Structure 1
Amino acid sequence: MKRRNFIATAAVGAAGIASSQVNAQKMETSKDFKLKNNINHSVCQWCFNDIPLEDFLKTLKDLGIKAIDLIGPKDWPLLKQYDIHCSMCNGAEISLEEGWNDPKNHDVLIKNYTEMIPKVAEAGYTNLICFSGNRNGMNDYVGLQNCVDGLSKIIPLAEEHGVVIQMELFNQVNHPDYMCDSSLWGVELCKHLGSDNFKLLYDIYHMQIQEGDIIRSIQNYHPYFGHYHTAGVPGRNEIDESQELYYPAIMKAILDTGYKGYVAQEFLPTWDDKIEALKDGFTRCDI
């Protein structure tokens, strides 16, 4: 009985210490929040969409964060009001599941992207997201060629306007059947298109789940990566010690490639204070 009491007391004590350490860490992050900005920081708005966009932009402005991801034309005027750059535009895609790998989507996608590319350029932005779509029984080589056939219709327009079309890599756990689920498949697509105006959005969270070896992939394939997203594995939550990736080392690997683009936080916050969680994420990536 004494042993049981000791174990129970020790467990409570350890939990209290851990909680105190987390609270102290949060206070320290809040007190000393000042960025070096060797990394160009951004954040995906959808992860914080319970905060009104204008309020969120005001917060980013106060924090010195200069960019936000995945915003469409409707909200670009609001971004400009707060001098926040759209580091990844959206609004031309059909859906994650219906993409460039299926020729039946090409007419709609070509129309959408032909209309959107000049708007992105006129607004002063560069990056525009796209998706491969699901396999639906399709062979990967066939899907790759279908993507080449469709995307090659819009790449000249993207080159003319200085817009970079970026296809996001996903994992099969969160997005079953999605075709662009491998760095190698995506790199092969980039090689076939042969344009600096088509690159991959390398989502670190997705690729840790799907294939791992994150730093080696960045070192080997960085010329084909045009944008990065973060999140903790497992769970897609904060990028702190509760998960398995060590983001300072990943950020160093990205910087060592000479990358000058944006890294966007795309984790789902679990802390009571979501902005403190976001500040913590920025701080960990701010090497």
Structure 2
Amino acid sequence: MNASATRFSAPDWCFFREGTDPAAYYRQLRALGITGVEMVDPVRRAAARAAGLEILNIAGPGMEVGLNRREHHADLVPRIEAVIDEAAAEGIPQVIVFSGSRGGQADGEGIANCVTALKPLAWRAEAAGVTLAFEMLNSHDHRDYQGDRSGYGFAVVDAVGSSAVRVLYDCYHMARMGEDLERDIAARVDAICHMHVANPPDRSAPRDDGTIDWRVLRARAQQAGYRGYWGLEFLPRGDVMAQIATAVTAMSDAAKAPASTSA
């Protein structure tokens, strides 16, 4: 895949600021090479689409009080069902879902409880043409988040056994947990529906001299068959659009670079 085929997305929560004109903001993103946006407030969706941007996902509930505990299912499952229905009605392909906080619970129990909740949700999502994107978060920034390892997410996906449940693989979060990004992406690209990128440890914009070698990572992901969006989910310092442009350039250069045989 060459750079012209690489698709970039920008989460609204990172870059959109209250008081900004939505139409102008989305046009600027499009001019920078962004073709998708994430977690867009319903009142701004028309403006995003008018700028030629695809709306990729909606964040569901449950980041802290999550699916990893059965006592939360009666409340959370109907709410996630409603988000699935909203996504289907709006033509939005993914709904982000979460494990919830650990609270002393064993990971195996949390995984089993997530699977119990996600199996019936997967049926609804399949029928609606929506993918549930199960996101892993590092437990340094998100204190006590249980799904803080890629293996947790992949175990849930495997046990649910539905094409409508996949992992949202966040390179920043998994790097903060000390994981081997290249290995995990290459081995489980079949289970990944979306990627987020940022430079650890400060969640800054991807850049050529960052702590992740984007050239190698992108080569590995492409060789493994990843063709989804790369979500630029970083925290900007200074000029937002200038930093998005820097990230797009760094990631595009990575896409054009030849594969490396070493990490």
TM-score (norm 1): 0.82
Per the alignment, residue 100 of structure 2 pairs with 133
Aligned partner of 1:279 in structure 2 is 245
Question: Which string of whole-angstrom CA distances, capped at 9 and with x for unpartnered residues, describes residues 67-119 of structure 1?
Answer: 111224343223222221112222x314x211111122212221112222122
Checking the alignment, whether the CA contact within 8 Å between 1:100 and 1:146 is kept in structure 2 is yes
Aligned to 1:177: 144
Preserved contact between residue 10 and residue 37 of structure 2 (Cα < 8 Å): yes
* Equivalent residue number for residue 109 of structure 2: 142
The structure 2 residue matched to 1:190, chosen from 144, 157, 162, is 157
Tell me, yes or no, if the aligned pair for 2:93 and 2:131 is still in contact at 8 Å: yes
RMSD of the alignment, in Å? 1.7
* Map of 2:25 onto structure 1: 56
1:200 is the counterpart of 2:167:
yes
Give the aligned residue type for 1:93: P
For residue 82 of structure 1, the aligned residue among 51, 64, 67 is: 51
Of the structure 1 ranges 172-181 and 233-242, higher mean CA displacement relative to structure 2 is found in 233-242
* TM-aligned CA deviation for residue 242 of structure 1: 5.2
Residue type of the partner of 2:67? W
Gaps of 5+ in 1: 1-34
Call closer, same or farther: CA 1:196–1:102 in 2, change over 3 Å.
Answer: same
* CA distance, structure 2, for counterparts of residue 239 and residue 73 of structure 1: 28
Q: Who is 1:213 aligned against?
A: 180
Q: Tell me what 1:166 maps to.
A: 133
How far did 1:196 drift?
A: 0.9
SS at match of 1:112: helix
SS at structure 1 position matched to 2:8: strand
SS at match of 1:202: strand
From 93, 97, 103, the equivalent of 2:61 is: 93
Q: Distance in 2 between matches of 1:175 and 1:42?
A: 23
1:18-37 correspondence runs (5 A): 36-37=3-4
- Amino acid across the alignment from 2:24: D
Q: Output the CA distance in 2 between the equivalents of 1:165 and 1:187.
A: 13
Partner AA of 1:258 in structure 2? G
Deviates more, 1:224-233 or 1:39-48: 39-48
Q: Distance in 2 between matches of 1:74 and 1:111?
A: 23
Secondary structure at the counterpart of residue 227 of structure 1: strand
User: Secondary structure of 1:47's match?
Assistant: helix
Q: How many residues align?
A: 250
Cα 1:242–1:258 shift into 2, 3 Å: closer
Cα offsets for 1:193-245 (capped at 9, x unmatched): 00111011110001011033111111111111111001011200122255311
- Match of 1:164, as an amino acid? T
5+ residue gaps, structure 2: 256-263
Letter of the 1:87 counterpart = L
In structure 2, C-alpha distance between the alignment counterparts of 1:119 and 1:179, rounded to whole Å? 27
1:146 is displaced (CA, Å) by 0.8
**What is the aligned partner in structure 1 of residue 190 from structure 2?**
223
Would the aligned equivalents of 1:110 and 1:153 in 2 still touch at CA under 8 Å? no
Q: Normalization by structure 2: what TM-score?
A: 0.89
Give the letter aligned to residue 151 of structure 2.
L
Give the corresponding residue for 2:216: 249
Residue by residue, what CA displacement relative to the aligned partner does 1:160-188 show, whole Å, maximum 9, x if unpaired? 11100011111121112111111111111
Greater mean alpha carbon deviation, residues 252-261 or residues 160-169: 252-261
Q: Aligned partner of 1:161: which letter?
A: A
1:127 Cα deviation (Å)? 0.9
State the Cα distance separating 1:145 from its structure 2 match: 0.9
Identity fraction in percent: 27
Secondary structure of the 2:34 match is coil
